[in-house]
Structure 1
Amino acid sequence: MTITGRREDVLAEAAALLGARHVAFDASDPAQVTKALTGLPEHVDVLVNNAGGNPAFDRKGDDLESVRAEWLANFEANVLTAVLTTTALTPRLADHARTVTIGSIAARQGSGSYGGAKAALEVWTATICRDLGPRGITANVVAPGLVEGTGFFRGTLTDQRRGTLIANTQTGRAGNLDDVAATVAFLASPEAGHITGQIVHVNGGAYLGR
């Protein structure tokens, strides 16, 4: 297993805990992705695109330049990271490999630039599942709702907002990391070979998929 990300110190710590290899690079930068290929596996059975976050938390104002910067930052962090990495690694994907991209409930709930970026990932996944399907390679999105135990909200999630998000679920609780990991693990398994081009919602029914 190889994990990637921008921050060498964080990656090294995580890799040590997991017993994994790590390669640090900015996946939104074509030059860095190309350079990173020398350290990435030559044979890929499972690719999980989990880079992202919400740069809108860093927005400085409501002027047009700030709005533009926010949208571009979210597109780079959430869309380009997945597109560039997957494109670069496509020749290394084994037949019957699995690709899983982490989306968000935000794609279905009008969540500004972040939701727009996650919605773009859903459309892109529909495209690559057609391109990769003849080789038996699947492409799916796992779209979580509120998941506790992450740094996503950067301390901005109030108790009131958290309560509202939980109240919107049918299960009466927030999601956790194991909920998401188990879904990804299933989609990466041999048993999921006929599931592709799908958005799998992991949100306790906060969004009722059709």
Structure 2
Amino acid sequence: MTRSIVVTGIGRATAARFAAAGEAVTILGRRADVLAETAAQLGATAVVCDVSDPEALTAALPQLPAQVDVLVNNAGGNTDLQRPAAGTLADVAAAWRANLDANLLSAVLTTTLLADRLQAGGTVVGIGSIAADRGSGGGAYGATKAGLATWNIDLAGQLGPRGITANVVSCGYIAETEFFADRLTDERRATLVGQTKTGRAGTPDDVAALIEYLASPGARHITAQVINVNGGAFPSR
């Protein structure tokens, strides 16, 4: 079976789980050095590509597997953390478009590109965020993750007749990732951990384990869902 995964902290943990199970894993990302190192460690295939760029994705298609059983759309992050504060309407527009490209269009474009290669019994998993429900402090990040969850409903409807599921794994605070770009203070971390019922931060492997389950035979009737991994920081009924 072939797994196509965009690599970061959660992506790497997910790739590692599938690679350890003997699956053929392909990882995509923009940073050639990170991809090469990860691929060498895991025995995966690396494809350097900006998955939010239609032309780059199209050019990369010949390097991607002819058959895909599991597609994990893990690219993204709060691009506001890497931008100066918006001062003009043009700045606001650019900030929103950056988040839209990173968190929603990347998943839409990658999935559309590989739609014909997805196999019956397979699954598509998008990485969402607690910010889709709680907001992200005034930026676009939470809105784009909410958009991902809504798009996933339509995606599940399109893929369901082919025996393919589509779900979003919505993450709370996950440690050991690059999400906060080294800007997370000890106080903020303590607040995020304090919001959980488990009293700890999540780990990339907490997310990877759920993705592995969603790709398993036991999860064939789970689709069009948003499944939370947040330690109870945002409980549901």
Give TM class, smaller chain.
over 0.9
Look up the match of 1:148: 175
Find 1:118's aligned residue among 116, 129, 145: 145
| Structure 1 unmatched runs, 5+ | none
Aligned partner of 2:106: which letter? T
- Residue identity matched to 1:176: T
The answer (yes or no) to whether the contact 2:27–2:45 under 8 Å persists in 1 is yes
Contact 2:86/2:95 (8 A) holds in 1:
no
On the 8 A contact 1:168/1:206 being kept in 2, the answer is: yes
- Quick one: distance in 1 between partners of 2:96 and 2:182? 21
Deviation of the 1:58 alpha carbon: 2.2
Deviation at 1:20, TM superposition (A): 0.3
**Counterpart of 2:93?**
68
Instruction: State the 1:59 CA deviation.
Output: 2.5
Question: What TM-score, normalized by structure 1, do the two folds share?
Answer: 0.98
Taking CA–CA contacts closer than 8 Å with sequence separation of 6 or more, which of the two structures ends up with the larger relative contact order?
2
Which residues of structure 2 form unaligned runs of 5+? Answer: 1-24
Instruction: Indicate the SS of the match to 1:38.
Output: helix
Aligned residue number for residue 138 of structure 1: 165
In structure 2, give the amino acid aligned to 1:30: P
For 1:172, the equivalent position in structure 2 comes to 199
- Pick from 36, 40, 54: which aligns with 2:60? 36
Q: Which runs of 4+ in 1 moved over 4 A?
A: none
Aligned mate of 1:93, from 107, 113, 118:
118
- Aligned-residue offset at 1:209: 2.0
- Give the TM-score normalised by the residue count of structure 2: 0.87
Separation (CA, whole Å) in 1 of partners of 2:49 and 2:97: 19
Q: What is the root-mean-square deviation in Å for CA atoms of aligned residues?
A: 0.9
Shift of 1:113: 0.7
Cα distance between partner residues in 2 of 1:61 and 1:21: 38
Alpha carbons 2:104, 2:148 under 8 Å: kept: yes
Equivalent in the alignment of 1:181: 208
